[in-house]
Amino acid sequence: MNMREITMGEAIQEAIGEEMRRDERVYTIGYAVGPHAGSITRPLASINTEFGPERVRETGIIEPMIAGSSVGAALAGMRPIADFSAVDFMFPALNEILGFGGMWRYEHGGADNMTIPVVFRGAIRNYGGLGAEHSRAPIALFWHAPGLKLAIPSTPYDAKGLLKTAIRDDNPVVFLEPARLYQVKGPVPEEEYLVPFGQANIRRDGKDITIVAIGYMVPISLQAAESLEKEGIQAEVIDLRTLEPLDLDSILASVKKTGRLVEVDDDHIRCGVGAEIAFQVQERIFSSLKAPMKRVGNLNRPHPVNQGMIHYVMPTKEKIVAAAKETMA
């Protein structure tokens, strides 16, 4: 494949453009998708030029309508991409996302084999100065809810490939984008490709400890692994890429090898992603564990603004290193 370096924002824009070109049922709707929404906040400038306002639908600040009309249109045969410029703005629409998106098919017994092919895109905008209601990472919330698929890319390659898969999926997909990675470049093929759901990516091999991470925590975990290497600890870093479906096999295979697990994500620790993963691991391979598993995440607080406080309550490279060393001790 012919590779070139593009940002995650550009990769997402390419994915949406390609899928809209491929399938006229695909459209996007939201209040930050328009031609003036800007490439810094949302990567959609060229999409506007190419497809116009009928398929790039600007709205008012009406989250339930954005999410709910997308479910309705999906039931009626379209393939909408509901755009939330911050995942926080999905909260006014949780009834529509969790209730209509996630539960509708089951609730109606899959009557006439109904499908709800909708993607709910939301940017995770933490670690900045945006305050509690613009900095959430509600990963576990969407994983907890039945009926949704859940993808979170950490590279431009995965962002494009996973989003294309999400758009082609016949189920509702929550697609969370780490905004801090929008401007980060990475290799992306010129040719078309898809990244399948349910396949974790082992980003770094190691024999001593397994670090499971998702989204923005993947590059931070890779930095932590580099630090650990200097101290003679070989960490394996697994990027889950999707939580539903979850590639548990890759986690189990790694932990069987290392006997140690540190889970890292930027959502709240309590009832979180790490709790679920650690529980599933101990249920299956308890005897392979050499040490208690550790979680690194948000300390059950809303997101503050002051940088010192942010780094106190949120995961950092240093906290991951410390957790790994505790596990090795």
Partner 1 sequence: MALHEEVAIRIYRDMVRTRALDEQMIKNSRGGIMRAGWHSGLGEETIVAPISLLNREDYVTYTHRGAYVWIAKGMDMKEIIAEFYGKATGCSKGKGGTHIAKPSLGIFGRAGSQGGHFVLATGMALAAKMRGSGQIIISCFGDGCGTRGTLHESMNYASIHKLPILWLCENNGYSVTVSVDKLWPIEDLSNIAANYAMPGKTVDGTDVVAVTEAAQEFVARARRGEGPSLLEMKFYRWRAHVEGTTTAYMRKEEVETWKKRDPIMRFEQVLTKQNILKEREILKIKAEAEAEVQEAQRFAENSPDPAPEDGLDDLYADSHT
Query: Would you please indicate which residues are annotated as catalytic (active-site) residues?
Result: 134
Stretch touching partner 1 by CB under 8 A, among 70-78, 209-217, 221-229, 318-326: 70-78
Question: Is there a contact between 97 and 67 (Cβ–Cβ < 8 Å)?
Answer: yes
CB 70 within 8 A of CB 29: yes
Which range, of 37-45, 106-114, 177-185, 207-215, touches partner 1 by CB under 8 A? Answer: 106-114
Q: Which is nearer to partner 1, 71 or 320 (CB)?
A: 71
Q: Is 99 in the site for partner 1 (CB under 8 A)?
A: yes
Q: Does 107 bind partner 1 (CB under 8 A)?
A: yes
Q: Is 1 in the site for partner 1 (CB under 8 A)?
A: no
CB of 76 to partner 1, least distance (A): 4
Beta strand segments in the chain, E: 3-7, 26-30, 56-58, 79-84, 119-124, 149-151, 173-178, 185-189, 201-204, 209-213, 235-239, 242-244, 261-268, 294-298
Binding mask 135-164 for partner 1 (x = CB under 8 A): -----------xx-x---------------
Instruction: Indicate the pairing of strand 26-30 with strand 79-84.
Output: parallel
Residue placing its CB nearer to partner 1 in the complex, 149 or 303: 149
Q: Which of residues 165-184 bind partner 1 (CB under 8 A)?
A: 165, 168-171
The smaller minimum CB distance to partner 1, of residues 87 and 167, is found at: 167
72/128 with CB nearer partner 1:
72
Distance CA 206, CA 34 (A): 45
By rule CB under 8 A, what count of residues binds partner 1? 49
Contacts (CB under 8 A) with partner 1, residues 185-244 = 194, 196-197
List Cα–Cα distances, 221 to 9, 133, 320, in angstroms. 21, 25, 7
Going by their DSSP bridges, the two strands 173-178 and 119-124 should be labelled as: parallel
- Which residues pair with residue 151 across a beta bridge? 175, 242
The verdict on 49 binding partner 1 (CB under 8 A) reads: no
Contact region for partner 1 (CB under 8 A) — 6-14, 52-60, 235-243, 253-261? 52-60
Say which DSSP state 329 is in. -
Residue 197 Cβ, how far from partner 1 at the closest point, in Å? 8
Residues from 299 through 318 that contact partner 1 (CB under 8 A)? none
Residues 110-139 touching partner 1, rule: CB under 8 A, are 110-116
107-to-73, 76, 102, 314, 326 alpha-carbon distances in Å: 18, 17, 9, 37, 46
How many Cβ atoms are within 10 Å of 139's Cβ, its own excluded? 25
Enter the tokens of residue 64: 């339930």
Binding test (CB under 8 A) with partner 1, winner from 69, 155, 250, 298: 69
What is the spatial order of strands in the sheet that 173-178 belongs to?
Answer: 56-58, 26-30, 79-84, 119-124, 173-178, 149-151, 242-244
Nearer to partner 1, 107 or 326 (CB): 107
- Considering the complex, state which of residue 54 and residue 286 has its C-beta at the smaller distance from partner 1: 54
28 near partner 1, judged by CB under 8 A: no
Q: Is the peptide bond before 315 cis (omega within 30 degrees of 0)?
A: no
Answer for the pair 18, 50: CB distance below 8 angstroms, yes or no. Answer: no
Amino acid identity, residue 280? Answer: Q
Our CB check for partner 1 shows the closer of 184 and 194 to be 194
Residue ranges in contact with partner 1 by CB under 8 A: 27, 54-55, 59-60, 62, 64-65, 67-78, 80, 95-96, 99-100, 104-116, 146-147, 149, 165, 168-171, 194, 196-197
